[in-house]
Structures are given as structure tokens and as C-alpha cells.
Chain A
């Protein structure tokens, strides 16, 4: 008998997968318009912003789901905890992706199956959800980048 494990986000509230549409969840300042990821709920950090800066100026904001690779790298050796590594270790790739609208660079692992040889600076990528690690109970998922199909 095969059972499908429950899938849970490895962190709550950082991304959504509603309707299969993966989006990073940040916040945005309603006074000056600056977006933030990860979520900033404390106060707008733009020193020139004239908003109240008590957190009331920050509203939920879903970031662009596509961007272009700013840079990329891979990990050939098992990192220390709290990274949860399968045994034996499986190398993974990390991309820094520039979002055009938000004018910011966001990191994410690259979906399994893509190595550094498949990537290039400037390449268009999109968000997907992938399994970061699993235990007996569940698969824990996180946002990942993958080349636009």
C-alpha cells in the first residue's frame, strides 16, 4: 500500500500555492510603495518615507512570480544544521533572482533536476513549490525557482 504523505510548508506565511500559483508573500508600504520580502511588519525601512512607521503602513503583498537570474551557485557539500539533509547528501542549486517590478533580488533553491549547467545569468525563471526535506509524517515544502518552460 502506498500512502501519500501530507505536504506542509517548511515555514508558515512566506509563500502561497493557492490554485497552483506559487507566490512569495511579503509586505508593501502603503505610504511610499516599497515592497519587502520576507514580510516586514515592524515599520517601513525607507528612511525617506513619511508614513507613520508603526507597522500600520504595511499591507500584505504577493511578489512577482517571475524574474531573471542575477546569479547562481550550488552546494557540493552537506551544509550544517539546521539544514535538513537527506542521507546521502544530495547537492542542490541556489539562484538569486531579480524581480523586474519590485527591483529586488530574491534567493531560492532551484527545483531539483536543474544544475548550474542548466542556468545562466539573465535567464527567465518562475516560482514553483518543491520538497525541502521530509520526515516520517510529512514532506516539508518551500518556494523554488525553475527555468520558464
Chain B
């Protein structure tokens, strides 16, 4: 039995700081994805919304919010929240419905309108919430955690500020001609170096911004795709959303401490690498089969961590891989041809869906000037924060 589902439509509302309601971005993305699939809203049997927690109640029940905006149709609906992996969780919910034979056509939508500046915990005094406490007792903002990882890379593997800057330069170049990217401007290593230090060793241009944006996918059974006249659609053979394994020895938001490895040794595969490994196993392919990767570059340094986590190189090999040009467009394994979070900024519930939009366009050969030649397989991975993360493989 096939475990594949088909991606029939992909659509996005451009990322930016538009100052409008998130529903508008989701609606625009949904309509674009439906048009791309050649389907009408009334053909959709299942709607999976990815939740945003910064836009009031409509964001907590995003599936219903988008269904209402599109016009109540009696479709079945779900809403998912899983921090940065919310979009992947919504895709996974739709995928399970399709594979179980409960529906043929599903629409996945995620959108966000992001506040300015640092993400902060949701409102109210909650001294028993670790996310509230990490701000209160440590001042540990998200960039602090990213900076801790970055400094660790420098100490362990000799990463330099120039390496971090080179990731930004590469991704900015990739995003230049992406009509959905927020930042479409060349960035030089000097620009990165001279941007303000936010959390040493990371500069402003090392850290992804927060953005408004929306992304949507139309997912169907393979049989429906064929009936619809698409014999060779982009397929999703694997999506992993595994949890960490005890003891989780890599510091994660919003932790005050890691698990102790005193009584149980640390797992062979830390969290991010376990996410990718489970997806490879499910798809029956390995990193050597990839044409491209979209990785969650919350910071430039994190992109380097991902190279190792998804098996593009050994631990400590990311700097060399980057410096060789292998991960730039035209290289052996382009990473973040979309421009990545560096060019988009993070629109949390939309981001994992946007990564799959990019894989879809790349695998169809529709990525225009950022096209990876002969793309046949891609992975999209999403930072495991708060214990959630995802890895999705798409092939054609």
C-alpha cells in the first residue's frame, strides 16, 4: 500500500509587515493554492488550520476561522498548535485523514500577523509557566538561546562570525527573486558584521525577523490526483513529528536546564537529527538522495547545525560544507533556495507550510531563477522548540 499523498496546490500570501489581520493572509494563500490545484473550495472535504497564539481567539481555532472566511461548507475541520511545527502538524493531520481513506481532498492553511521585536510570552502573570519564568528569572529571550547554540558551535567546531555571515549572504542571494520573500536585497558579509549585536555572538542580521504571511497547500489522495488528470504529482512520502528521547540533553526553549544524562546515557541521535532520521526511514531514502533542503534558519548558526542534523555532513563538517559552496544554488545540495527564514522572517504557523510550497515549486521546476536543476527529492525541517519539530520529505 502506498503511503504517499499528492500535493496538488501550493499558495502563499507574500511575507512582510503588512499590519493587517492574519485571516486575510490565510484566505489569500488558500485561494491561490486552490487555483493552483484547479479545485474549488467546495471540493475540499477537510480543512486543517495551523494555529497562531498571538491573534486572539480566531488564531486558536484557525481551521474554523479559515473555513468561515472561505464560506462554511460543511467540511470537516481541525486546528493544530505545535509551536514552530504547527504548520507541519496541520499537514500531518490532513495526511492522516487522506491515508486513512477518510477524505480525498484536504486544504491546509497557516497564517500569522506577528508583533514587532522579541517574541514574548502570552499575557498575564503565570509564575508556574516555564515560558513566563524564563523571561522573568533569566531574561532568556529566543535570541539568547540561539546565541548559546552559536557560541557552542564556535567552541566545538571552530565556526567563525564570517561563517555565520556567509549563511546570511547566501540566503539573501537565494531570496532575491522570490516574490513571496520579505527581504529581497543583497547582503554583504560586512553588512552582517556591522549590524548591531543582539545577543553576542549573534548580530541583528544573523537572527530571523518576525513576519506577517500566509501559506496553504491542497493535499489529495494519489487516486484523486490521477482522476484529476495529474499522473505525476509532487508526493509526500514521509512526515516525522517525533518527540525528543529521554534524556533530552540539548537545551531547548523554554528550558532552564537539560535533562540529566546521569542515569540514562544521552540518545545516539539528538532531537533534530532524530526528526530527520525518522522521515528518511519512512520515505526509504537518505540524505544522499536529496536535491535540496529547506531548513529552519532561526539564526545563521542554526542553519549550520541543520546540515549535520539532516545528514549532509558529519558533526563539525558544516563550516567546510558551507565554505565549499555546496549549499548555495548551483552547488551539490542547495539549502534554503527559497531564501529561508533569513529572507522571510518567521510567520510561525505558516512557515512549515511555506517550506513545503517551496519544495513543491522546486520539484515541479517552477522556481524560476532560484530553481535547483533536476530537483527530485527535498526535505523540509523545522526547529524542535518546546519539544515540537518536524521533518517532511517531498519527491517527484
Residues of A within 8 A of B (CB): 10-11, 14, 29, 32-38, 45-48, 70-77, 79-85, 92, 94, 96, 101-109, 116, 120-122, 132, 142
- B198 contacts A38, C-beta separation under 8 Å: no
6 CB < 8 A contacts A-B: A32-B264, A37-B256, A48-B264, A80-B117, A80-B135, A116-B200
| Residue with the greatest number of chain B CB neighbours at <10 A, chosen from A80, A104, A105 | A105
- Closest residue on chain B to residue A29 by CB atoms: B263
Check if B259 is an interface residue, CB within 8 A of chain A: yes
- B262 contacts A33, C-beta separation under 8 Å: yes
- Closest residue on chain B to residue A120 by CB atoms: B155
Check if B148 is an interface residue, CB within 8 A of chain A: yes
Residues from chain B with Cβ under 8 Å of A38 in the complex: 130, 256-257
- Closest residue on chain A to residue B145 by CB atoms: A73
- B260 contacts A34, C-beta separation under 8 Å: yes
Residues from chain A with Cβ under 8 Å of B200 in the complex: 73-74, 76, 116
- B246 contacts A74, C-beta separation under 8 Å: no
Known: A73-B147, A74-B199. A79 touches B262 (CB 8 A): no
Known: A77-B198, A103-B262, A107-B255. A122 touches B125 (CB 8 A): no
- B263 contacts A34, C-beta separation under 8 Å: yes
Nearest CB of A to B242, in Å? 14
Q: Which of A37, A77, A121 contacts B257 (CB 8 A)?
A: A37
- A73 contacts B151, C-beta separation under 8 Å: yes
**Chain B residue total in the interface (Cβ 8 A):** 48
- B199 contacts A36, C-beta separation under 8 Å: no
Nearest CB of B to A92, in Å? 6
- B196 contacts A76, C-beta separation under 8 Å: yes
Q: Digitize B58-101: 1 where CB-to-A-CB distance is under 8 Å, 0 elsewhere.
A: 00000000000000000000000000000000000000000000
Residues from chain A with Cβ under 8 Å of B258 in the complex: 104-105
Of the listed stretches B136-144, B163-171, B213-221, B279-287, chain A binds B136-144
Q: Which of A77, A104, A120 contacts B260 (CB 8 A)?
A: A104
Q: Which of B118, B140, B256 contacts A106 (CB 8 A)?
A: B256
- Closest residue on chain A to residue B261 by CB atoms: A103
- Closest residue on chain B to residue A48 by CB atoms: B264
